[in-house]
Structure 1
Amino acid sequence: MRFDSVPMPPTVEVRPRDPRGYPVPAITPWHDDQPQFALTDYDRSANCARQRLCSVCDTLMPRGPVWRVVGGSESAAIGEALAAGRPYRNLAPTLEGPGHRACMLYASMVCPYLARPNARRGLDARSPDDMTAHVVRGAVRGTLGAVVGFADYEFAVTSSQVLFRFVDVVEFLPHDTADAHLDALRAELDQAR
């Protein structure tokens, strides 16, 4: 599915664009007037965490559930826990912040890496602490991704990174290809109108 055929949340429509027309998420750093999609900007991420702003559109997330897109291994762990009737809590922190449901459904479909199991990373996103050692050019997303809703999030802003943990799964939307979420995105946008 082409990114320009996916309905865009109004708050994403006003985001800056890269030369191809992709909207640039709020936490994406810029270098030489080019967004660095594989990386996360420390100050922008810290601001989003502290002020409860969506990491995609940079607008306030109301109290209540937050969403994020997860890859194959975390999607599998969440699915297994839910199928066994066990709670899921990610004990390992992540650098990826939360967002609105519509923004994360949208991101899952337009980000080539998140959208398809055979997609490969175009850039490295290594951090000095090895938290992102697996995020290297050519890495494959793998089977099943998911858009996951959580009751809330916790965060820590350290001297070098912003870390997130997510509490209590409230919605689990797995996908092989993210276009499976198109109807959910349309319904979410219709409800917001």
Structure 2
Amino acid sequence: MQTVCRVDTLYHYLFGGEESLPGILSRGLLPLSAFPESERWQRLEPIYRSLYAQWAEPLLGPFRNSGVYFTPIDFRMLPGTFLHQRTRIAVPLSTIPADRAILTWELDGERTILPLSREALEQAAALWTVDLVRAWFARNPRMSFYYVPQVAVFPDGAIPVQPGWVERADAGA
């Protein structure tokens, strides 16, 4: 079975298009909680705190921030999916602060939560085939990545982004 999960790169997909890209390139990827006055943070804070308590607190301790979210799933390998043609930021695993990050997914009613490491990503890659990702991605329409592998990083500041990490879909694809 073909795997679609990378073990050396994590992807941050730009759901809303490229309008946020200049800010990301200038200041890096920041948790939503870095903008405490924003309406979006005020509306979503309880959800982020709940997810942190369930997923990250057992490994990382008390609430730090809302996190920056990535996936090891390479949606370029999944034609027809919502994210196949989306601009994304391909962040090398080596640049992620592993001591502030977790890898998680849920399959068949069981949530897996692991400290972020190459070995944990290899475990996810061995499990999450093309068919499995297609079956479970966006099954929860309000939280597309709830079931499939995602990485939550809770940095002290921004996660710097290099311009060369930005990947746009091929115009002809």
Q: TM-score, normalised by structure 1?
A: 0.28
Scaled by the length of structure 2, what TM-score is found?
0.30
With a CA cutoff of 8 Å and minimum separation of 6, indicate the structure with the bigger relative contact order: 2
